[in-house]
Structure 1
Amino acid sequence: MTTAVASTEVPQDLDAARPAREGRRPPPRATRPVGGAGASILLWAYAALALVPLLLMVTNSFRTNGDLISDPLGLPSPPTTASYVEAWTTGNFATYFGNSLVVTVGAVALSTTVATMAAYALARGRSRIFRWLESLFLSGLMLPIHLAILPIFYLFDGLGLIDSRLGLTLMYASSGIPFSIFVLTTFFRQLPEELEEAASLDGASSWQTFWRIMVPMVRPAVATVAVFRFVPIWNDFLFPLVLLRREDKYTLPVGLTNFFGENATNYSAVFAGLVITTIPLIVLFLVATKQIVAGLTAGMAK
């Protein structure tokens, strides 16, 4: 009888100890950057090299024209803002800057708003017509907008929108809708439909569900789309050159070209104009970097 009890107690002790042994896991290894230290050094070196022209542009804008001619790579001693005053007033950069700001912000806001509403409808639509409409919108990605400059010119001429900032804003807004819909539709499809069902049970209308629940959840994607549309519109030269006639309607790229032609030997003022043109883009990326990274990496981690 004693032997039988002993034979049953030993396996029980072993079974009780087995989960403790099996539950032990080796400590996680520290994650290393892809490519190791060599890749990190190369990336930092490339970043530093890419910043050199930007630093030269900024430092030379605070120097006099005589100093630039005598010592092109020197430092400002002492720094002066006379070139900025000349570019902003005499060079009419205040008007150019205002025109670019109105056209770019208006086009991005209109394009992003329309694309967000359309992307939500296309992502949640079950009918075959929604699939057809999505394909129609995405087909706009296959045609570069600059190839349609001649039809756009004749269309604007017939509508009386030549030399109009409103016409330029509408053109930029419509050209950015296919890309914005392409990005935002993917993000809306990743959101669970249970969120809308819960909001409906709480008494929220479809409009309230869209603006108060769905749009905040795709905010990184909206910010990414807005930034990716802001940069090419702000830097575009061709359409303002073709569609605008008067100098007081010029945007910064066209105005900068005009200013450079009149001040080809005033290097300090030209550098100041370049800095004025670049500042909004730098500020935009510094402010929206977190949202851009979140928008580009959303859905990559499981």
Structure 2
Amino acid sequence: MNKARSNPVSAAAMHGALIIYTLIALFPVFVILINSFKSRRAIFREPLSMPNSDSFSLIGYETVMKQGDFFLYFQNSMIVTVGSLFLILLFGSMAAFALSEYRFKGNMIMGLYLALGIMIPIRIGTVAILEMMVATGLVNTLWSLILVYTAQGLPLAVFILSEFMRQVSDDLKDAGRVDGLSEYTIFARIVVPLVRPAMATVAVFNMIPIWNDLWFPLILAPAEETKTLTLGSQVFIGQFVTDWNAVLSALSMAILPVLILYIIFSRQLIRGITSGAVK
């Protein structure tokens, strides 16, 4: 009885802690947003104050719209991010299902091999990746970024999803096999819906690094027609002079899509993180 009564308290405390953490994490975003609507002088004089009639200015947004093709950069970032997440979740869930469901020789070795990608940064192989993309003719294409980010996100996806898939009841899967369902149908209709919170967690963990990455867009796709939003924003940052109004405005516009996707996945994300944590 005491244990049953402690569950709501523990759950409420955990959700309260998550809300507080979210507010703390969003404070820098709030500062960027309010300063994007200020004049340059007001940004440095009163960075934490709200814009008023004296400090309000849209010069940053006007500069962003005039210099460079911002909407093309935005489109490229969306294509790369959504495409990479789709492939990560597709191939990651399929590999995790095979590793968790079937016992074969080398199962553990294969799992350890895939997990090595979590410990070894993919940027170490930048030179080899660039040579590979040059040889295949994928330099200055969005496919080069999608393939690299997919390879970068697969190890974490397999590691997380395989652990959740091992918790799926064998009785459900066996019942599906008795009814004549194929392994593909069992995977798509039984396993995937049950691990949806884990998939949302994987998506969020990979979404932000992909959207904010500067390294691979600069190396693999620096052409004007393939620039991402993060790379395109660098035009306002110089060695000696930085247009802070334009930088903050570009960052504010770049934050919104990530914020929207985070809100969409937030419920499933919390379920995935807290799954099994509160008993």
TM class by shorter chain equals 0.7 to 0.9
The corresponding residue for 1:57 is 32
Report the alpha carbon displacement of residue 218 of structure 1 after superposing the two structures with TM.
0.4
The corresponding residue for 1:116 is 93
Deviates more, 1:119-128 or 1:67-76: 67-76
The corresponding residue for 2:183 is 206
The corresponding residue for 2:50 is 75
The corresponding residue for 2:232 is 255
Report the alpha carbon displacement of residue 260 of structure 1 after superposing the two structures with TM.
2.6
Residues 95-140 of structure 1 deviation map (CA, whole Å, 9 limit, x = unaligned):
2111111111111111110010111011111212333322221222
Give the secondary-structure state (helix, strand or coil) at the position aligned to 2:51: coil
Q: Give yes or no for contact 1:263–1:270 (8 Å, CA) kept in 2.
A: no
1:288 aligns to 2:265 (yes or no): yes
Q: Which residue type is aligned with residue 222 of structure 1?
A: M
Report the alpha carbon displacement of residue 74 of structure 1 after superposing the two structures with TM.
4.6
Q: Which residue type is aligned with residue 255 of structure 1?
A: G
1:167 aligns to 2:144 (yes or no): yes
Q: Give yes or no for contact 2:149–2:210 (8 Å, CA) kept in 1.
A: yes
Unpaired stretches in structure 2, ≥5 consecutive residues: none
Report the alpha carbon displacement of residue 172 of structure 1 after superposing the two structures with TM.
0.8
Give the TM-score, by structure 1 length.
Answer: 0.79
Q: Give yes or no for contact 1:65–1:268 (8 Å, CA) kept in 2.
A: yes
Q: Give yes or no for contact 2:85–2:203 (8 Å, CA) kept in 1.
A: yes
Residues 156-187 of structure 1 deviation map (CA, whole Å, 9 limit, x = unaligned):
12211211211111111112111110011111
Structure 2 CA distance for partners of 1:263 and 1:112, relative to 1, 3 Å: farther
Distance 1:49 1:298 in 2: 23
Of structures 1 and 2, the larger Rg is shown by 1
Q: Which residue type is aligned with residue 59 of structure 1?
A: I
Structure 2 CA distance for partners of 1:181 and 1:30, relative to 1, 3 Å: closer
Report the alpha carbon displacement of residue 49 of structure 1 after superposing the two structures with TM.
5.8
Distance 2:63 2:204 in 1: 30
Report the count of equivalent residues. 272
Structure 2 CA distance for partners of 1:143 and 1:69, relative to 1, 3 Å: closer
Q: Give yes or no for contact 1:138–1:179 (8 Å, CA) kept in 2.
A: yes
Q: Give yes or no for contact 1:91–1:259 (8 Å, CA) kept in 2.
A: no
Distance 1:237 1:230 in 2: 14
Report the alpha carbon displacement of residue 212 of structure 1 after superposing the two structures with TM.
0.9
Distance 2:261 2:241 in 1: 30
Runs of 4+ in structure 1 deviating by more than 6 angstroms, as ranges, are 25-31
The corresponding residue for 2:167 is 190
The corresponding residue for 1:133 is 110
Q: Which residue type is aligned with residue 218 of structure 1?
A: V
Report the alpha carbon displacement of residue 51 of structure 1 after superposing the two structures with TM.
4.4
The corresponding residue for 2:194 is 217
Distance 2:205 2:73 in 1: 22
Distance 2:62 2:192 in 1: 42
Give the share of equivalent positions with the same residue, in percent: 34
Given candidates 51, 64, 70, the residue that maps to 1:87 is 64
Q: Which residue type is aligned with residue 75 of structure 1?
A: M
Deviates more, 1:67-76 or 1:190-199: 67-76
CA RMSD of superposed structures (Å):
3.0
Q: Which residue type is aligned with residue 174 of structure 1?
A: A
Unpaired stretches in structure 1, ≥5 consecutive residues: 1-24
1:278 aligns to 2:255 (yes or no): yes
Report the alpha carbon displacement of residue 271 of structure 1 after superposing the two structures with TM.
1.3
Give the secondary-structure state (helix, strand or coil) at the position aligned to 1:199: helix
Q: Give yes or no for contact 1:87–1:272 (8 Å, CA) kept in 2.
A: yes
1:146 aligns to 2:123 (yes or no): yes
Distance 1:50 1:135 in 2: 33
Report the alpha carbon displacement of residue 288 of structure 1 after superposing the two structures with TM.
1.5
Structure 2 CA distance for partners of 1:90 and 1:198, relative to 1, 3 Å: same
Q: Which residue type is aligned with residue 168 of structure 1?
A: L
